[in-house]
Chains A and B, each alone.
Chain A
Amino acid sequence: MARKKKSLFGKIVRRTFLTAGAVAVGGVAFGAYLVNRDHDNPLVAGEGEGVFNPFVKIATDGTITVITPRAEMGQGIHTTLAAMVAEELDVPLSSITTEHGPTAAAYYNAGMMEEGAFPPAFHSGLGADAQRSLMASMGKVLGLQVTGGSSSVIDGFDKMREAGAEARAALVTAAANRWSVSPDVLQTENGSVIYAAGEQSATYGELVLEAAEVEVEEIPALKSRRDWAVLGKRQMRTDIAEKVTGAPIYGIDVQLPDMLYGTVKISPRFGAAAVSFDDTAARAVPGVLDIVEIETTTGKGFGIIATNTWAAFKGAEALQVEWGDAPYPADDAGITNRLVAAIEAEGTQSLMDRGDVDAAFADPQGTIIEAEYSVPYLAHATMEPMNATAQLTEEGLTIWAGTQAPGIVQSRCAALAGLDKDNVTVNTVFLGGGFGRRGEVDFPLYATALAMQTDGKPIKVTWTREEDTTHDTYRPAAMARMRAVVPEGARADAVEMKVAAPSIIPSVIARTYPNLSAAGPDKTLTDGAYNQPVNYDNFRVSGHAADLSIPVGFWRSVGHSYNCFFHEGFMDEQAEAAGMDPLAYRLAVMEGDDRLDPARGVLNKVAEMSGWRGSVPQGKGRGLAQSLCFGTWIAMVVQVDATDDIRIEKVWAAADPGTVMDPRLFRDQVIGGAIYGFSAALGEEINFEDGQVVQQNFWDYSFMNMEQCPEFEIELLQTSPHIGGAGEVGTPPAVPALANAIYAATGQRLRQMPLSRDVRFLGV
């Protein structure tokens, strides 16, 4: 059943299309043939094994293996993708073994690309749907195996269920052939095919070799939601046993025979190289074997090769280097000037321009309010610092890495080592946190660069925390200037939002697809500002790409991470100008558009949960924020106690992703996402001095701890017509809801991040 068709056009298409969620270079259309063509199945049946498709294989001993080809970074995606297969295969989840599987185009993510389409999630109709399906097709044609954009469930929902259904159909047909009966009289239950009338049954393991020969013409109809036995219910995570026993499952735990250890010291000024260096002291460190120069598309500097990680770290510390100058403003003031210059210049894109904003401001029917908001650069600070292991032998290059983008790792590392990508094997292991950081290629590239100097020995290259903090692909610094015309007691007549930030997509493309160039608007720049559930008559959102070459990348919720703060902070300011309650004001802003029902639904739900309409004790305050992000509608209420240092006491959130695969995993993502947002508010910022990042380690770049963590109450609704994501949706509303709560408690309006610049938080 393995489909074997040759990839004819892959190369051409790879050069022609841009990938990462925003734009197609040249907008080239491609034929239906290419879109409908299936990628090769990378799975090869072993002895006593049947392979049904790229996702399901069953062994004669009954072992069912499901390939869950997305990065497991804590979101529970292996569990949920396996549950989709279990549902259609009629087996309990506990009987399935999950494997990340090989790196292959068959594991493309069309869902992430679809999210890159410009129309807001609630827009349907010919134009919007055509754009989404074009983006999705591009994901398939490119064979882009990535985990990001909260898209794994959206992408996998049909694919994984169909994979299970296909395998089940083949097993049933095999049993029908064996017993010479019609498949229609057979049932499946708990890993067996049953012929009740004939008192026959056979396990999947007994049938698998025959079943693997069956050609399934048409994938049978999938179960309807009300028949689900596995999906929609809490499942035990497939990775929990390993994670409570300290099992060696992460990249940093890779252990190979004859392995060397290394670290890197890359130019702290991005894009610069060493002017001079002295490695005498570094070479004298016991355990240090070699110091090598490395030059890659992501950074230039040095690699330290040693007999253990600690020796490598000490070698890096002892290495004396004078670095070249930064090709960008050397400090925060210079960076801010670039943002201001961008916002004062003509916008580089506008994905929302409704009504006549200029006319509405020329003859204002209400009070004009104006505000400026700003946010700093941020680091991802995954708990496991960047690391990767590489081995280069005559057979080729092998990489072990916790990566969100194994296909890109494969092609970039192949290019560095001068190999064909077919000679590069990427083993994806568990990620000690991702948040977008591990979709980058720098850490496997540096491991490859060092492996090119170790005569065939494998080398594990681990970054120090300092190297990690100072060499991130940062969440951009950003600034917004907003104004609105607000009549008394009614929603704004006109709203204008200008957002300036360095553009993420071109920065990512330069590192991951250096042969391509980005073109067209970068959706991420104003994502979460232009496509929200609002119904102003006159509304304009312009993006102003700032000229800053500091590397920026995807940071949990990407553009939403700052735009929601701008949008929902300013929303509260509008409510105040209108003399309205923040909840009533938001509902008024949504009025007149039925497609926004799920937005009203989550707002009303969270209001009910939090007792929004009730009174709040002296010294405390509640704030509200909502967002439509990654296809999910979410509203959040935060309560703070401001009688002393501000304490975030309680958080209520209601989210509507349409269909919930696993309510506990979804809830935990909302909580984790919100904590990620609060952490930023409590003091995260990346500053620049002398062209270098100031912050070094958790002492100056920390995040929320146990004592600061609030209580959470989460409710999930399922009314939205489309499935939405989970991994990033808790982050955007957390900061504005917190800022609005502090305003409610203290009367102090917070317009810059981190909020700790203006107020004192408990334990900061």
Chain B
Amino acid sequence: MQLRINGEIRTFDAEPDTPLLWVLRDILDIKGPKFGCGVAACGACTVLVDGQPVRSCSYPVDGVEGEITTIEGISNGDTLHRVQEAWIEHQVPQCGYCQSGQILAAVALLGAVPEPTDEDIDLAMTNLCRCGTYPRIKAAIKTASGQGA
């Protein structure tokens, strides 16, 4: 099988029903997307497919069409994405486990709504965080969108 991931064509063997998440993590050693629930309920495994946030744990690899971006693919060399910069400014992560998914969900949100309101953020950011970093996620999204905190 073949997929375009973070700008590169990757070729691999996998059972067709294998979720994209496990292809990324176990077969291609791309560890940014995390496993939280396996049932599309938490968002830890979020990746972008053609810019849209997708929960890769529930996405069989043989159905995947489009260009995949993981957290590893949003920075430009050593230059971080502005969402990552905002995450650092607000010191968002605690355990950090949900954060690659949160960051990608935020990147997708800002792609669709450049200056999201609190309500936009509430609606779009459905990824769970057990550590409770939501207030800082919200503030960081505001910063990344140039709205101040």
Which residue of chain A lies nearest to B137 when distances are taken between CB atoms in the complex?
A706
> A241, A253, A383, A707: which contacts B123 (Cβ < 8 A)?
A707
Query: Cβ of A195 < 8 Å from any Cβ of B?
Result: no
Does any Cβ of B come within 8 Å of A672's Cβ? yes
Question: Is B117 an interface residue when CB atoms closer than 8 A count as contact?
Answer: no
Contact B39 A465 (CB under 8 A): yes
Number of A residues with CB within 8 Å of any CB on chain B: 63
B143 at the A interface (CB under 8 A) = no
Asked if residues B80 and A706 are in contact (CB atoms below 8 Å), the reply is: no
Given A384-B95, A706-B134, verify A462-B35 contact (CB < 8 Å).
yes
Contact assessment for B42 and A243 in the assembled complex, using a CB-CB cutoff below 8 Å: no
Q: Does B19 contact A (CB under 8 A)?
A: yes
CB distance from A348 to the nearest CB of B (A): 33
A179 to chain B, nearest CB (A): 41
Stretch from A128-136, A307-315, A490-498, A537-545 that touches the partner: A307-315
B26 A244 Cβ-Cβ under 8 A: no
CA A26 – CA B30 in complex, angstroms? 52
- Given known pairs A433-B97, A698-B41, the reply for A309 and B25 (CB within 8 Å) is yes
B residues 120-141 near A (Cβ < 8 Å) are 121-123, 125-138
Interface flag for A668 (CB, 8 Å): yes
One of A244, A672, A673, A674 near B99 (C-beta < 8 A): A244
Contact with B along A422-465 (1 / 0, CB 8 A): 00000000111111000000000000000000000000001011
Answer whether A709 and B15 are a contact pair too, CB < 8 Å, given A244-B80, A383-B36. no
**A666 CB within 8 Å of chain B:** no
Which of B34, B37, B84, B122 neighbours the largest number of chain A CB atoms within 10 Å of its CB?
B37
What residues of B have a CB within 8 angstroms of the CB of A261 in the complex?
Answer: 26
Contact A706 B122 (CB under 8 A): yes
With contacts A243-B96, A308-B18, A308-B27 taken as known, whether A705 is within 8 angstroms of B39 at the C-beta atoms is no
Cβ distance A607 to chain B, nearest Cβ, rounded Å: 22
What is the number of residues of chain B that contact chain A, defined by CB distance less than 8 Å? Answer: 56
- Say yes or no for A52: interface residue by CB 8 A criterion: no
Q: Find out whether the CB atom of A432 lies under 8 angstroms from the CB atom of B22.
A: no
**Residue in B22, B87, B127 whose beta carbon sits within 8 Å of that of A310 in the complex:** B22
Flag B60-75 by CB within 8 Å of A: 1 or 0 each.
Answer: 0000000000111001
Residues of chain A with a CB closer than 8 A to B114's CB: none
Which residues in chain A, 255-277, are within 8 Å of chain B measured between CB atoms?
255, 261
Q: Is B98 an interface residue (CB 8 A)?
A: yes
Answer whether A698 and B39 are a contact pair too, CB < 8 Å, given A433-B95, A672-B133, A707-B123: yes
Q: Does A697 contact B (CB under 8 A)?
A: yes
Q: Which residues of A contact B92 (CB under 8 A)?
A: 244
Q: Is the CB of B123 within 8 A of A433?
A: no
B48 in the interface, Cβ–Cβ < 8 Å? no
Q: Are A286 and B135 in contact (CB under 8 A)?
A: no
9-residue interface stretch from A162-170, A199-207, A232-240, A334-342: A232-240
Cα–Cα distance between A75 and B137 once the two chains are bound (Å): 16
User: Any chain B CB within 8 A of the CB of A671?
Assistant: yes
Shortest distance between the CB of B104 and any CB in chain A (Å): 9
Q: Are A246 and B41 in touch, CB under 8 angstroms?
A: no
The interface bits of chain B over 27-57 (1 if a CB of A lies within 8 angstroms of the residue's CB, else 0) are 1010111111111011010000000000000
CA distance in complex: A420, B34 (Å): 35
- Mark interface residues in A654-681 (1 if CB within 8 Å of B CB, else 0): 0000000000100010011111100000
Kindly state whether residue A712 has any CB partner on chain B within 8 Å. Answer: yes
In A67-125, the 8 Å CB interface with B consists of 73-76
Among A73, A76, A246, A385, max chain B CB count under 10 A is at: A246
A465 to B32, CA, bound (A): 18
Q: Write out the residue numbers on chain B whose beta carbons fall within 8 Å of the beta carbon of A244.
A: 80, 84, 87-88, 92-93, 96, 99, 103
The answer to whether the Cβ of A377 comes within 8 Å of any Cβ in the partner chain is: no
Residues from chain A with Cβ under 8 Å of B26 in the complex: 261, 308-310
Residues of B with C-beta under 8 A to A138: none
B94 at the interface (CB under 8 A from A): yes
Docked-complex contact A671 and B135, CB < 8 angstroms:
yes
B136 to chain A, nearest CB (A): 7
A245 interface residue per 8 A CB criterion: yes
B145 contacts the other chain (CB 8 A): no
Whether B128 lies near A465 (C-beta < 8 A) is no
| Interface membership of chain A positions 300-318, coded 1 if the CB is closer than 8 angstroms to chain B and 0 otherwise | 0000000011110100000
Chain B residues positioned under 8 Å from A252 (CB to CB): 34-35
Tell me whether B91 is interfacial, beta carbon within 8 Å. Answer: yes
Measured CA separation A340–B29 after assembly (Å): 52
Contact of A308 among B22, B31, B33, B37 (CB under 8 A): B22
- In the assembled complex, the Cα of A389 lies from the Cα of B128 at a distance in Å of 26
User: Is B132 within 8 A of A704, CB to CB?
Assistant: yes
Q: Are B95 and A430 in contact (CB under 8 A)?
A: yes
Instruction: Provide the residues of chain B in CB contact with A698, threshold 8 Å.
Output: 36-37, 39, 41-42, 128
Chain B residues with CB below 8 A from A706, complex form: 121-122, 125-127, 134, 137-138
Chain A, residue nearest B39 (CB): A697
Q: List 11 A-B contacts (CB under 8 A).
A: A245-B71, A287-B15, A309-B25, A384-B36, A433-B131, A673-B132, A698-B37, A699-B39, A699-B41, A703-B130, A706-B134
Query: 8 shortest A-B CB distances, which residue pairs?
Result: A246-B32, A74-B94, A675-B132, A432-B97, A243-B96, A74-B95, A246-B71, A672-B132
Using a CB–CB distance below 8 Å, which chain A residues touch chain B? 73-76, 236-237, 239-250, 252-253, 255, 261, 286-287, 308-311, 313, 381-385, 430-435, 462, 464-465, 664, 668, 671-676, 697-699, 702-707, 709, 711-712
Using a CB–CB distance below 8 Å, which chain B residues touch chain A? 15, 18-19, 22, 25-27, 29, 31-39, 41-42, 44, 70-72, 75, 80, 84, 87-88, 91-100, 103, 121-123, 125-138
